[in-house]
Amino acid sequence: MMSREARQKVGGGWLRPAVFGAMDGLVSNIALIAGVAAGATATGADQPQAVILAGFAGLGAGAFSMAAGEYVSVVSQRNLLIKQGKTNSNAENVQNFVSTQVNPLMAAGSSFLAFSVGAIIPLIPYMFGGTSVFYAALITAVALFGTGATVGYITDENWFRSGLRQLMLGTAASATTHVLGTLAGGLLG
């Protein structure tokens, strides 16, 4: 079992973007899939095909967006700290801090990969012939809880509460887009 100190040192700068990427991939793609599935059902469209197309489009768009955002964020933060260090009496401390920060390419890559893994999970049932959003929601619920619980453990929070929080947020997003998809499908159908 990891000590508290070891858990708090995990990451090396890649953990935060990876966790954020995975959570965002899970939540955004199950929400997208729920909305598209509901809309496709309401309009009589081929639901599995529409879900797979939308799900992979969401995966690609989200992964690239997350990676680009993470890269720009890390570079901007580093540049700001360097600029502050040049005008600050604490310049040496700032420079030492900046030199220990994450590599922007590593942050972008971990965000891209983690988002992709998270976003593919709700698609798995459809990729194997599933035709119901129920199984996508079920597998995603397990992944959301597991990812949230893992984050809770690493950050020395209550793992159960952390897992439950992530599950509730993902469920709320999916339920909202399912309702919106049903309404939009009803208007179009």
Question: What are the tokens at 181?
Answer: 């998809």
151-185: pLDDT as tens digits = 899 889 999 999 999 999 999 999 999 999 999 99
Could you tell me the two tokens for 162?
């952390």
pLDDT given at position 81: 74
Predicted TM-score (pTM) of the model is 0.83
Contact 148, 164 (CB under 8 A): yes
Average pLDDT over residues 119-124: 97
The pLDDT of residue 95: 58
DSSP codes, 88-147: STTHHHHHHHHHTSPPHHHHHHHHHHHHHHHHHGGGHHHHTT---HHHHHHHHHHHHHHH
Does residue 4 surpass a pLDDT of 80? Answer: no
Q: Where are the domains of the chain?
A: 13-179
Cβ neighbours of residue 162 under 8 Å, at least 6 residues apart?
A: 148, 149, 151, 152, 153, 155
Q: Does residue 2 register a pLDDT over 80?
A: no
Q: What are the pLDDT digits (tens) for 43-102?
A: 988 889 999 999 999 999 999 999 999 999 888 887 887 777 666 666 566 656 655 667
pLDDT at position 167 is 97
CA 170, CA 153: separation in Å to the nearest integer?
19
pLDDT at residue 9 in the model = 52
Taking alpha carbons only, the member of 134, 140, 102, 135 closest to residue 120 is 140
Higher pLDDT, 99 or 141: 141
Q: What is the pLDDT of residue 78?
A: 79
CB-CB neighbours of 152 under 10 Å: 19
Q: What is the pLDDT of residue 93?
A: 65
Q: How many residues does the chain have?
A: 189
